[in-house]
């Protein structure tokens, strides 16, 4: 039954990718159906799980023995507990909605069947990742997610930017994957196994140094998949993929994998405070990093991408807090899954109606033309900024509270960072909202060729097209998923919060401690709301009160840096690329001179030797006989000598 969860979308991927053109007309519905079937199985398992006691809800099913070697046992086995269940429902649920949306979004794309095949593969890989009962199988899913994301980001591979973005995502992810691989190696040497149950239950036996090493390597892995500093650079470029892919990567799959990994490995991090501290720092830095980048982007999808980075930063930070934060990390992950999927689908809907224009400076006043998108996007917006009563409010508020509860100076710093992050979130999301749906209808202005602005992101290819867009609402197949997600954005947080139901649900897996915050919960909530108001207000002052210029102003130094993703690519280029180039050049030099020299030298030596020995073979029987005779004499002498000594 658990295997079917993975198997159904995997089957879909196989059928769609191998099926050929005859599936072109029905393939997308098949893919959507199989995603829905997987969701139905997940829901059924969830229902049966609810019938059990909290402690006995975990299910386990071994499919087959994968690597049965003495001392190295790896099984293909699944573990479905409350944590996995949460992810399963999120992945399949949101995933199915995105499938449905894609039916409309990709309607005119010639590669639609392939696209759905990849989507199904993505689901299968992600499900494998969260259902594996050991780190090795998790690694398979982890790599599968990396592969599927590569295929999907580069789906429009005819665009060089998309191909480059796909490669970038893949390569940056490899760095993280190496971390996971090393973590698994370390686990095996430390614990002799890599199955969750024995590793996590005996984590206390290992020394703190070992746990710290494993924890840091797991964090590296999480940074790669979840786009955390310093491996964040791929996320922005990943927007080159079709918008549903962005929604899938950002909401339901991929970026959540890192949070899952850290939460799942909680027992390891609990025993390694230093590693936890690094996790928290990474989360806090990314939170601000993503938020600042989000403020400066004019590309609606990139603004949302910065937002994702920032929100995942919140989750990582919460996960780094230990048992006081795990549950809230996951809770924010789920609510974020709803509203970020809604926001991305909304952005896709806007682009759909605007000839694939992505520059928000060429939007404006769209609320009249696409009311459903406006309302659903608006609800997602309210949720993400943490408007009281909506999903994001509950989950983010809990994280801020837990950050304060970390205690000491750290607690204050983290609390301040999270509050600041909330304010910036409010600012940039309001900016997106205002620039897109309010204000003048800037798309009516004839597109003037923009002066060469090296700092400005090149927007969509369609910029050069002079056809004026005719904004319109998207078809039902696209709006219905948005509406469903909007419901989630509004209510999920409240339901989770009511009676601490979500925390209680996860507690058997992640453990939970009530944090003792130095400031009262009411104060935190008030501070959150205040920062929210400040952020919204600032955005309104800048973008609501006065018209938005179609051509981006030059901006101050920070803005320009933020437009360049805070110089992440420049940093990578200078430090990593040129460093790597120099390293490889010197290695090539060594290879040429030393390795090849040795090889060629050896070959030349033997060749010369061969040429010389060959001359002994002169063709005269008499000299052959002499050599035989001499050889015989030597051998006899040697034999006698052996006896003598």
Partner 1 sequence: MTGVTGMTQVASAGGTSDAVPSLWTIAAAGDKLQAPSIEYGKLSPVLIVLGAAAVGVLIDAFAPRKARYSAQLFVALAGLAAAFAAVIGLAASGAGTTKAQIAGMGALAVDGPTLFLQGTLLLVGIVGVFTFAERRLEPAGRGGRVDSFAAQPAAVPGGEGEQQAVKAGWTTTEVFPLLLFAVGGMLLFPAANDLLTLFIALEVFSLPLYLLCALARRRRLLSQEAAVKYFLLGAFSSAFLLFGTALLYGYAGTVNYSAIARVISGADAVSDPVLADTTGNDALLLIGGALVVMGLLFKVGAVPFHMWTPDVYQGAPTPVTGFMAAATKVAAFGALLRLLYVVLPGLRWDWRPVMWGVAILTMLGGAIVAITQTDIKRLLAYSSIAHAGFLLAGVIATSEDGISSVLFYLAAYSFVTLGAFAVVTLVRDAGGEATHLSKWAGLGRRSPLLAAVFAVFLLAFAGIPLTSGFAGKFAVFKAAAEGGAGALVVVGVIASAIAAFFYLRVIVLMFFSEPQADGPSVAVPSVMTTSAIALGVVVTVVLGVAPQYFLDLAGQAGVFVR
Q: Which residues bind partner 1 (CB under 8 A)?
A: 603, 606-607, 609-611, 613-614, 616-617, 619, 621, 624-625, 627-628, 630-632, 634-636, 638-640, 642-643
In terms of CB distance, is 558 or 636 closer to partner 1? 636
Determine the Cα–Cα distance for residues 594 and 616; give it in Å rounded to an integer.
33
Q: Are 98 and 248 in contact (CB under 8 A)?
A: yes
* Shortest distance in whole angstroms from residue 603 CB to partner 1: 7
Q: Are 535 and 422 in contact (CB under 8 A)?
A: yes
In terms of CB distance, is 557 or 613 closer to partner 1? 613
Virtual torsion, Cα 443, 444, 445, 448, nearest 10 deg: 60
- Tokens linked to 338: 């709803």
Q: Where are the alpha helices (DSSP H) in 106-159?
A: 112-131, 135-153
* Shortest distance in whole angstroms from residue 598 CB to partner 1: 14
Half-sphere exposure of 607 (CA within 13 A, CB side): 6
In terms of CB distance, is 50 or 599 closer to partner 1? 599
Residue 346: strand pairing partners? none
Nearest to 443 by CA among 552, 355, 331: 355
In terms of CB distance, is 498 or 625 closer to partner 1? 625
SS (H, E, C) 151-176: HHHCCCCCCHHHHHHHHHHHHHHHHH
In terms of CB distance, is 22 or 614 closer to partner 1? 614
In terms of CB distance, is 54 or 609 closer to partner 1? 609
Residue 299: strand pairing partners? 359
* Shortest distance in whole angstroms from residue 637 CB to partner 1: 10
Helix or strand (DSSP H, E) at 78: strand 72-80
In terms of CB distance, is 158 or 614 closer to partner 1? 614
* Shortest distance in whole angstroms from residue 631 CB to partner 1: 3
Q: What is the CA radius of gyration of the chain?
A: 30
Determine the Cα–Cα distance for residues 288 and 297; give it in Å rounded to an integer.
15
In terms of CB distance, is 556 or 610 closer to partner 1? 610
* Shortest distance in whole angstroms from residue 615 CB to partner 1: 10
Name the DSSP letter for residue 461.
G
Nearest to 59 by CA among 85, 39, 89, 38: 85
* Shortest distance in whole angstroms from residue 596 CB to partner 1: 15
* Shortest distance in whole angstroms from residue 616 CB to partner 1: 8
* Shortest distance in whole angstroms from residue 617 CB to partner 1: 6
């Amino acid at each position: 039954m658990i295997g079917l969860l993975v198997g159904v979308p995997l089957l879909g991927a196989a059928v769609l990718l191998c099926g050929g053109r005859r599936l072109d007309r029905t393939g997308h519905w098949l893919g959507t159906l199989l995603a829905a079937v997987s969701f139905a199985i997940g829901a059924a398992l969830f229902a049966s799980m609810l019938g059990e006691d909290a402690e006995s809800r975990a299910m386990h099913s071994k499919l087959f023995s994968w690597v049965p070697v003495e001392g190295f046992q790896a099984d293909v086995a699944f573990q479905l507990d409350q944590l996995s269940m949460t992810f399963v429902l999120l992945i399949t649920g949101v995933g199915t909605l995105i499938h449905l949306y894609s039916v409309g979004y990709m309607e005119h794309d010639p590669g639609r069947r392939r696209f759905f095949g990849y989507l199904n593969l993505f689901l299968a890989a992600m499900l494998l990742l969260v259902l594996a009962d050991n780190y090795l199988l998790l690694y398979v899913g982890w790599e599968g997610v990396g592969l599927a994301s590569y295929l999907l980001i580069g789906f429009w591979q005819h665009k060089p930017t998309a191909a480059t973005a796909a490669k970038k995502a893949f390569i940056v992810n490899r760095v993280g994957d190496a971390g996971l691989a090393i973590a698994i190696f370390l686990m095996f040497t430390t614990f002799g196994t890599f199955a969750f149950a024995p590793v996590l239950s005996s984590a206390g036996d290992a020394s703190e140094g070992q746990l710290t090493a494993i924890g840091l390597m797991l964090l590296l892995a999480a940074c790669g998949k979840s786009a955390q500093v310093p491996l964040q650079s791929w996320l922005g470029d990943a927007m080159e993929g079709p918008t549903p892919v962005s929604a899938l990567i950002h909401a339901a799959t991929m970026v959540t994998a890192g949070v899952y990994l850290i939460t799942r490995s909680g027992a390891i991090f609990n025993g390694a405070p230093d590693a936890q501290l690094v996790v928290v720092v990474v989360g806090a830095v990314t939170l601000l990093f993503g938020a600042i980048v989000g403020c400066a982007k004019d590309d609606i999808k990139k603004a949302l991408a910065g937002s994702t980075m920032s929100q995942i930063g919140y989750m990582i930070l919460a996960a780094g807090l230990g048992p006081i934060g795990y549950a809230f990390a996951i809770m924010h992950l789920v609510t974020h899954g709803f509203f970020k999927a809604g926001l991305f689908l909304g952005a896709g809907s806007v682009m759909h109606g605007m000839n694939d224009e992505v520059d928000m400076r060429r939007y404006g006043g769209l609320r009249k033309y696409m009311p459903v998108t406006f309302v659903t996007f608006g609800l997602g917006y309210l949720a993400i900024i943490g408007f009281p009563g909506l999903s994001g409010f509950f989950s983010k508020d809990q994280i801020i509270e837990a950050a304060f509860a970390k205690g000491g100076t750290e607690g204050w710093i983290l609390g301040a960072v999270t509050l600041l992050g909330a304010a910036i979130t409010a600012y940039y999301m309001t900016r997106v909202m205002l620039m897109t749906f309010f204000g003048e209808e800037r798309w009516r202005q004839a597109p003037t060729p923009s002066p060469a602005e090296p700092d400005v992101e090149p927007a969509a290819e369609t910029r050069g097209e002079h056809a004026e867009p005719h904004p319109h609402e998207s078809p039902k197949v696209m709006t219905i998923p948005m509406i469903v997600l909007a419901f989630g954005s509004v209510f999920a947080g409240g339901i989770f919060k009511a009676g601490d139901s979500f925390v209680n649900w996860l507690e058997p897996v992640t453990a939970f401690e009530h944090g003792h915050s130095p400031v009262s919960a009411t104060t935190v909530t008030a501070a959150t709301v205040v920062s929210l108001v400040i952020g919204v207000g600032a955005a309104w002052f800048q973008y609501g009160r006065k018209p938005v210029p179609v051509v981006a102003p030059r901006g101050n130094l920070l803005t320009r840096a933020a437009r360049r993703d805070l110089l992440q690519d420049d940093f990578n280029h200078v430090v990593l690329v040129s460093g790597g180039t120099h390293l490889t050049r010197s290695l090539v030099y060594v290879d040429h001179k030393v390795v090849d020299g040795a090889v060629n030298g050896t070959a030349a030596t033997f060749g010369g030797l061969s040429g010389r020995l060959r001359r002994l073979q002169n063709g005269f029987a008499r000299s052959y006989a002499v050599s035989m005779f001499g050889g015989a004499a030597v051998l006899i002498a040697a034999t006698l000598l052996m006896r003598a000594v």
